[in-house]
Amino acid sequence: MKQLLVLGAGSGGTMVANRMRRRLGADWMITVVDPAALHLYQPGLLFLPFGANDEAAMLRPRRRTLSSGVAWIEGGVTAVDPLHRSVKLHDGQNLTYDFLVVASGARLRFDMTPGLDDGRARGDVHDFYSLEGAQALRTALAGFGGGRLVVNVVEMPIKCPVAPLEFLFLADAFFTRRGMRDKVELVYATPLDSAFTRPLCAKHMQHLLAQKGIALEREFAAGEVDAEHKLLRSYDQRELAYDLLVSIPTHSGAAFVEDSGLGNELAFLPTHKQTLQVEGQERLFALGDATALPSSKAGSVAHFQAEVLETNLLEAIAGRAPKPEFDGHANCFVETGHGKAMLIDFNYDVDPLPGRYPIAGLGPFSLLSESRMNHLGKLAFRWLYWNGLLPGRPIPVSARLSMSGKRLEFASPSASQTQGS
């Protein structure tokens, strides 16, 4: 019996395992390893701090998200040994594989910024990138009497790079609705030199921030938190006082990636940009947040990568070279508050452009501009996630970026990216 082993059953790992189950015969066993008993719908986290309480719809038992022909081991990975094609688990078990897919995602590393954990213990520092964090922030916002709320991205890369902006837009709407917007100062402190990583989109985002009276602190590389005095301090000694700090901490890859000597400086896996093969490793592939790719760490990206990986695993199993199919395609709804959202669609080389999506001229979604329909799309997406994406059913959106419906007159001649410090 041959073995396809998948480490991590988040969006990427689950999609790959389910897709491959349909493509591989009974002589192949597919096993996923993941320590968590529940699968969390992460896009839902954004809405919890502002009063949503649909946690029940955001969680599903892991077993229900995997097809019946996929085995699941509930456990953690200690190390990968590519030389012997084996994986050691926390309980001492050794698994061998013919091909390995690393889909172990990203970890939130509050511990990497001095003072963050102290601030969290005191109750002034929160996050919305974890279920417990988003729930605690919901309580904190409900009781917030006013003052300065700072949203800080410690460093790139982070999951869903638009989420901090969405959080601020929703916070503006939330405090407006409660009749206390004038008592709350909203500040976005980012290590980037603009509000977003791509120029045209950054301009739109900056316009929205200004319109909503949200202050932007650029090139702010957070070095430490003085929790006692409620100060966020940058490496170049700039200080930002806060009453409530919403931190998006440093992200890193899984500990076993680091311990196996496979990761970069943040334990993300150096992976071929187009084939998704781990650099220098013939039988290792990676997708989703676990990679060091310059693509977004987002569910849509993991979905497009899963399609490419399905092709390339089959190629590799047949003894052929993997195909350079992945183009960095990402597709994100951006909540802008008051029941509206924006949609952006881009890849390694093409910036988010205005237009209609997915059908040229018709939409129903509008690119790079706010609409009610985009917001409804974002909400409807949860159904599609559980019933279309995770099971790996075909959906009518192409894995590669399509230029159809995009207004090319806004395209820059060379897709230059702005970047962090």
Distance CA 392, CA 402 (A): 21
- With CB under 8 A as the contact rule, the residue among 3, 135, 264, 274 that binds other proteins is 264
User: Would you say 359 and 405 are in contact if contact means Cβ atoms under 8 Å apart?
Assistant: yes
Please report, as residue ranges, which positions from 235 to 254 form the binding site for other proteins (by CB under 8 A): 235-236
The least distance separating other proteins from the CB of residue 226, rounded to whole angstroms, comes to 15
Q: Are 117 and 20 in contact (CB under 8 A)?
A: no
Site string for other proteins, 210-229 (x = CB under 8 A): ---------x-x-x------
Q: Which of 266, 242, 171, 263 is nearest to 209 (CA)?
A: 171
Q: Which of 330, 341, 350, 367 binds other proteins (CB under 8 A)?
A: 330
Structure tokens at 208: 């929205």
Give the residue, chosen from 155, 325, 327, 370, that forms a contact with other proteins under the rule CB under 8 A.
Answer: 155
Among 65, 152, 247, 295, the residue binding other proteins under the rule CB under 8 A is 295
Cα–Cα distances (Å) from 125 to 52, 118, 392, in that order, read 20, 8, 38
Q: Binding mask 108-147 vs other proteins (x if CB under 8 A, - otherwise)?
A: ----------------------------------------
Token code pair at residue 269: 């896996």
First to last CA, the chain: 49
Q: In the complex, what is the shortest distance from the CB of residue 158 to other proteins, in angstroms, rounded to a whole number?
A: 9
Sheet with 340-346: strands ordered across: 330-337, 340-346, 363-367, 355-359
Quote the least distance from Cβ 189 to other proteins, whole Å.
Answer: 14
Candidates 204-212, 292-300, 305-313, 394-402; binding stretch for other proteins (CB under 8 A): 292-300
* Segment contacting other proteins by CB under 8 A, of 28-36, 54-62, 262-270, 395-403: 262-270
Binding to other proteins by residue 389, rule CB under 8 A?
Answer: no
Least spacing, CB of residue 196 vs other proteins, in Å:
8
Applying CB under 8 A, among 157, 249, 337, 358 the residue interacting with other proteins is 157
Give the burial string for 295-330 (b: 16+ CB within 10 Å, else e): bbbbbbbbbbbbbbbbbbbeebbeeeebeebbbbbb
Q: Between the CA of residue 236 and those of 226, 230, 239, 339, what are the distances in Å?
A: 15, 18, 9, 39
Residues that bind other proteins (CB under 8 A): 155-157, 161, 192-193, 197-198, 219, 221, 223, 234-236, 264-266, 293-297, 330, 416-421
